[in-house]
């Protein structure tokens, strides 16, 4: 027995090998230091194999969706193709277009309850689970270059959001997409567009919407030479000089953004 200092009484307890610890202890050590969303290697910090229980995959859903908007959603004038792409991704779901070219948000407000919920209509529409609201470009383009205001636009959008929520329908509030009628920093509509989009983005936090979708990142190409910052990318324009309406590639980009944000569990 090795020498011990005077007065020292050796313990009669024996250290247990690490093997007595339950396997879950190793798993906790490994996962506690890993960031959320990190992929697991399948082994603990000590090299022991770990068995993880994957989160149950949500059951696919059937969505019944109404989209209210202007020419970007009006299938009669080449709009609404983003809904067709969503239908292809979600074949058992339904996507109905209620777009009217040239309309401002006040016009959408006037027909909202009639179109989406059948108030005063001869034919009752389906019971929608979600409503997409995409409007505001025509309001802004018709606004004053020197004194553009968004108060009335916000009131109209808020009305539609609240009416849908009151009927148990989830709201997908879409920000004003990139558009090209702005004339630089002296145009007050530049700031008005930014302020309106900031307000739309905040609606989920205020309980008026369930989703806020920013289409800017998927429809702009600010890094391309000759393209003004914030403008609709030429690759997604319906016509070369048209800085508002999307071509097929643009509609597909919009559909993908909506799919990834809202409808990825569709059937």
Q: How confident is the model at residue 225 (pLDDT cuts 50, 70, 90)?
A: confident
Q: Considering the domain boundaries, does residue 38 fall inside one?
A: yes
Q: Considering the domain boundaries, does residue 224 fall inside one?
A: yes
Q: Please check whether residues 154 and 200 belong to one and the same domain.
A: yes
The pLDDT value recorded for residue 118 is 97
The pLDDT value recorded for residue 48 is 54
Q: What is the mean pLDDT of residues 100-114?
A: 98
Q: Please check whether residues 113 and 152 belong to one and the same domain.
A: yes
Among candidates 114, 137, 9, which has minimal Cα distance to 66? 114
What CATH number is associated with residue 88? Answer: 3.40.50.1110
Q: Considering the domain boundaries, does residue 1 fall inside one?
A: no
Q: What is the mean pLDDT of residues 231-248?
A: 95
Q: Please check whether residues 191 and 218 belong to one and the same domain.
A: yes
Q: Please check whether residues 33 and 125 belong to one and the same domain.
A: no
Task: Look at residue 25 and tell me whether its pLDDT is greater than 80.
Answer: no
The pLDDT value recorded for residue 23 is 42
Q: Please check whether residues 44 and 162 belong to one and the same domain.
A: no
Q: Considering the domain boundaries, does residue 11 fall inside one?
A: no
Task: Look at residue 13 and tell me whether its pLDDT is greater than 60.
Answer: no
Q: Please check whether residues 97 and 205 belong to one and the same domain.
A: yes
CA dist 68 and 246 (Å) reads 17
Task: Look at residue 144 and tell me whether its pLDDT is greater than 70.
Answer: yes
Q: Please give the backbone phi and psi of residue 209, each rounded to the nearest 5 degrees, phi first.
A: -140, 160
Q: Please check whether residues 122 and 230 belong to one and the same domain.
A: yes
Greatest CA separation found in the chain?
A: 102
**Count of structural domains within the chain:** 2
The pLDDT value recorded for residue 47 is 55
Q: How confident is the model at residue 147 (pLDDT cuts 50, 70, 90)?
A: confident
Q: Considering the domain boundaries, does residue 14 fall inside one?
A: no
Mean of all residue pLDDT scores within the chain: 85
| Domain membership of residue 121 as a residue range | 64-263
Q: Please check whether residues 162 and 224 belong to one and the same domain.
A: yes
Q: Please check whether residues 147 and 40 belong to one and the same domain.
A: no
Give the pLDDT confidence of 171-208 residue by residue, as tens digits.
999 999 999 866 556 788 889 999 999 999 999 999 99
Task: Look at residue 238 and tell me whether its pLDDT is greater than 50.
Answer: yes
Lookup: tokens for 155:
């009131």
The pLDDT value recorded for residue 183 is 59
Q: Considering the domain boundaries, does residue 10 fall inside one?
A: no
Q: Considering the domain boundaries, does residue 18 fall inside one?
A: no
Q: How confident is the model at residue 140 (pLDDT cuts 50, 70, 90)?
A: very high
Q: Please check whether residues 69 and 42 belong to one and the same domain.
A: no
Among candidates 256, 262, 255, 257, which has minimal Cα distance to 81? 255
Q: What is the mean pLDDT of residues 121-150?
A: 94
Q: Please check whether residues 71 and 50 belong to one and the same domain.
A: no
Contact 225, 233 (CB under 8 A): no
Angle between helices 105-117 and 151-166 (to 10 degrees): 10
Task: Look at residue 17 and tell me whether its pLDDT is greater than 50.
Answer: no
Q: What is the mean pLDDT of residues 4-24?
A: 47
Task: Look at residue 51 and tell me whether its pLDDT is greater than 80.
Answer: no
Q: Considering the domain boundaries, does residue 77 fall inside one?
A: yes
Contact 179, 243 (CB under 8 A): yes
Lookup: tokens for 131:
């409503």
Q: Please check whether residues 29 and 141 belong to one and the same domain.
A: no
Q: For residue 13, give every residue at least 6 positions away whose Cβ sits within 8 Å of its Cβ, in sequence order, or none.
A: none
Q: What is the pTM of this model?
A: 0.78
């Amino acid at each position: 027995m090795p020498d011990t200092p005077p007065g020292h009484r050796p313990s009669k307890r024996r250290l247990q090998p690490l093997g007595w610890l339950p396997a879950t202890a190793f798993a906790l050590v490994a996962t506690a230091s890993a960031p959320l969303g990190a992929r697991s290697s399948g082994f603990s910090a000590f090299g022991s194999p770990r068995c993880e229980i994957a989160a149950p995959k949500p059951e696919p859903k059937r969505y019944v969706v109404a989209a209210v908007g202007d020419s970007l959603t009006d299938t009669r004038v080449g709009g609404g193709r983003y809904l067709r792409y969503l239908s292809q991704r979600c074949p058992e779901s339904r996507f109905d277009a209620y777009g009217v070219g040239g309309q401002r948000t006040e016009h959408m407000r006037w027909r909202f309850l009639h179109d989406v919920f059948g108030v005063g209509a001869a034919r009752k529409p389906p019971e929608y689970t979600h409503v997409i609201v995409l409007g505001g470009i025509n309001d802004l383009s018709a606004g004053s270059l020197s004194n553009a205001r968004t108060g009335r636009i916000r009131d109209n959008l808020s009305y539609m959001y609240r009416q849908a929520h009151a009927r148990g329908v989830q709201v997908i509030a879409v920000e004003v997409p990139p558009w090209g009628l702005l004339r630089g920093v002296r145009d007050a509509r530049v700031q008005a567009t930014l302020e309106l989009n900031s307000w739309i983005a905040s609606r989920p936090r205020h309980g008026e919407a369930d989703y806020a979708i920013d289409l800017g990142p998927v429809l702009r190409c600010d890094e391309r030479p000759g393209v003004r910052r914030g403008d609709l990318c030429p690759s997604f324009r319906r016509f070369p000089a048209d800085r508002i309406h999307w071509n097929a590639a643009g509609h597909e980009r919009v559909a993908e953004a909506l799919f990834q944000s809202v409808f990825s569990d569709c059937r």
